Amino acid sequence: MAKILIIDDEKLINDSLARIFKEMNHQVIQAFMLGKGVDMAMSENPDIVFLDVRLPDGNGIHKLPEIKAASSSPEVIIITGYADPDSAELAIKSNAWDYLKKPASMGAIKLVLNRALQYRSERDVAMSQAGSKSVKREGIIGNSSEILACLDILARSAESNSNILISGETGTGKELFSRAIHENSQRAKNDFVIVDCASLPENLIENLLFGHAKGAFTGADKKQEGLVKQADSGTLFLDEIGELPLATQKSFLRVLQERRFRPLGGSQEIKSDFRLVSATNRNLDEMVKEGKFRNDLLFRIRSVSINLPPLKKRIEDIKELTVSYLMKLCESHNIGMKGFSPDFMEALNAYEWPGNVRELYATLDWAIARAFYDPTMFPQHLPPQIRVCLARSSFDGESVEETMAPAPLSANVSPDEDRAGTLVSQIIQDFESIDTLPKWHDFRISVIAEAESEYLKSLYVKSDKNIQKAAGLSGLSQPRLYQLYRKYRIANN
């Protein structure tokens, strides 16, 4: 018996699905609003979630990653009367199990449910048979749902021989993941060969990859083994594979298919049993459309795909990354481990990190140099460009007058009361107790400040102090939320 959560605002459909699943002897829980459904996914640990798209309080697909991040990691089946190709693509990219269009037949609903339950059952058996084997993840720091999802794919695919494509922005840790794939594979005792495709001279690429025979060209006075052969029985890592010229892509495609190649000037083909891992920060699908990357090669290299999240999507990992790297820095400099003020970490959380983890580590290098003899690190130790960026971003979406707003005029309003009407009424009553009303400008700013403060306090409580959940509920980015929490002095652990 499985536990199934239905999130759909159409009562007839919700109740009909519930009746079908109960007749199949499953336990059913129901939600008619998206927010309630997300809360139930977190607290009730469902095995399967049937999720509508258009709900009164939000778009179901936008909450899909949050639902998938629940402790039970449920399979999510989208069922909607407003199906379109874009939302279907987004759902699948967000790891939905399937995408059904209303009205779906009872047979189709039962089939997709049974397939999802079969998958979960077989997966649980396979995991139990694997025992307590842990994934080697040296250098991969963080336990956010985004990183754990990537590590899950890594664990499932590492022991196979499938070609893996790792995509992500610069500085997200693509090489770390490629090494972890090698270290968790059956090839771990053999070579891990790195090829930086972006730095290969175009006129020497095939020579470096495939090697050459003696006398192949002027100056070739001895045989030279190529990188592909060096990876025999090991792993070949092609970093920034999107930079390979089209001519080389064609040559490499055959090597990838046959695991055989001919060195330059050679008379015989050579075998190389390598496992391919590739990485790119470019959109290879777009490059295919532009004629800059071979479609057949993309199919070959992307048997398994791991898309690493940017740092701004895994804010909860920043503290762990910071502490780990600071410990290494302090040890290398032979100085004691430094402390840091709460606002130092708040500043790190509020920054967008366009350079991702690589930029974070470079920033900490700078900060250590500035705070070399100081026991505690403060925002003042951060690089000027980051401090300027944070200062400027605090004005986003606000007027200068609003950011200079005085403290709220009334601090006696309970967060449990109806905020909008109560706040304004209370502030007006406070004004009537004094001889002179304030200017309209001051009144307006005070109301805005009070309302924002109470909203954020309520958000902080309702999200259980979880910044990711708060961002999802409010529609604000995590860095922006940290800025607002800091502005209104709302603690965040």
Look at residue 19 and give its three-state secondary structure.
helix
Could you tell me which of 181, 281, 293 has the C-alpha nearest to residue 237?
A: 181
Could you tell me which of 20, 33, 82, 73 has the C-alpha nearest to residue 49?
A: 73
The chain-wide mean pLDDT, for the chain, equals: 85
Asked if the domains 3-127 and 145-309 are classified in one and the same CATH topology, the answer is yes
Could you tell me which of 52, 57, 46 has the C-alpha nearest to residue 117?
A: 46
Q: For the whole model, what pTM was predicted? A: 0.69
pLDDT in tens, 263-288: 888 878 899 999 999 999 999 999 99
Look at residue 409 and give its three-state secondary structure.
coil
CATH topology of domain 313-393: Helicase, Ruva Protein; domain 3 (1.10.8)
Q: What is the chain's alpha carbon radius of gyration, rounded to the nearest angstrom?
A: 28
What is the per-residue pLDDT for 412?
A: 43
pLDDT in tens, 207-258: 899 998 887 777 777 888 899 999 999 999 999 999 999 989 998 998 999 9
CA 386 – CA 115 distance, rounded (Å):
49
Phi/psi of residue 309, nearest 5 degrees? -75, 150
∠ at Cα 163 (161, 165), nearest 5°?
145
What is the per-residue pLDDT for 416?
A: 44
What is the per-residue pLDDT for 413?
A: 39
Instruction: Spell out the CATH class of 3-127.
Output: alpha beta
CA 479 – CA 493 distance, rounded (Å):
14
Q: Which CATH superfamily is domain 145-309 in?
A: P-loop containing nucleotide triphosphate hydrolases (3.40.50.300)
pLDDT in tens, 304-332: 999 999 999 899 899 999 999 999 999 99
Residue boundaries of the structural domains of the chain: 3-127, 145-309, 313-393, 400-487
Look at residue 3 and give its three-state secondary structure.
strand
- Bigger pLDDT: 385 or 493? 385
CA 172 – CA 346 distance, rounded (Å):
21
pLDDT in tens, 383-424: 999 988 888 776 654 443 444 444 444 444 344 444 445 555
Whether cis (ω within 30° of 0) applies to the bond prior to 103 is yes
Arithmetic mean of pLDDT, 361-365: 96
Q: Please, which pLDDT band fits residue 129 given cuts at 50, 70 and 90? A: low
Q: How, if at all, do strands 211-212 and 224-225 pair?
A: antiparallel
**Is pLDDT at 25 greater than 50 in this prediction?**
yes
What is the per-residue pLDDT for 32?
A: 95
pLDDT in tens, 92-124: 877 889 998 888 899 999 999 999 999 888 877
Phi/psi of residue 193, nearest 5 degrees? -105, 120
Look at residue 339 and give its three-state secondary structure.
strand
Q: Check the CA dihedral 109-114-117-119 and report its sign.
A: negative
Could you tell me which of 186, 123, 193 has the C-alpha nearest to residue 153?
A: 123
Beta bridge partners of 29: 5
Structure tokens given for 248? 């080389």
What is the per-residue pLDDT for 234?
A: 96
Structure tokens given for 24? 């199949």
